[in-house]
Amino acid sequence: MTFDATFWVTISFFIFIGILIYFKIPQKVKTILEQNILDIKNQISEAEKLKEDAKNILIDHEKKISNSKNEVKQMLDKANDEAEKNVIRINKDFHNLMENRKKNAEERIRQLKNQAEKDIKNASVKIAIESVEKLIKNSLDKSKLDKIYSSSIEETKLALKKKSS
């Protein structure tokens, strides 16, 4: 009997399969594959947990960013309000200062005007006295001047007597 090569290949294949079954290779492969499947499932569940944690962290950070934006807005609003109040206060202080300076200037002008009027009156009286003196010296002689002086003294005495009585 002659066995051709196909027969021997078939026999060797069955022997090989038998050796694999004898040494429980398919079970070991199955165990390794199941272990790999469990590892992959664990990694997937861990990845899902990490994904959920990342979502929670993202939500927390978005809340913090939103709160920070609100705080910044409140700080800006407060700063703007304070700036407006300061501008109003400084403007009011400036107007008060200018009003006081205006009043002081007007008072100074009034004082200078009064002083000028006094100076003009004094100068006018001085000029009038000098003019009267010149006229009297030129128009009256000594005897007439003595008579006027005596009559003025008499009139003053009579006026004083009338007042005292």
Please give the C-alpha separations between residue 73 and each of 61, 78, 97, in angstroms, as whole numbers. 18, 8, 35
- Cβ contact 26:20 at 8 Å: yes
Give tens-digit pLDDT for 9-64: 999 999 999 988 888 888 999 999 999 999 999 999 999 999 999 999 999 999 99
Q: How far, in Å, CA of 86 to CA of 134, rounded? A: 70
Give tens-digit pLDDT for 113-149: 899 888 888 887 778 777 777 666 666 566 776 777 7
What are the sequence ranges of the domains in the chain? 8-159
Q: How far, in Å, CA of 123 to CA of 129, rounded? A: 10
pTM over 0.85: no
- Cβ contact 106:97 at 8 Å: no
Alpha helices (runs of H) in the chain, residue ranges in sequence order = 5-22, 25-139, 142-164
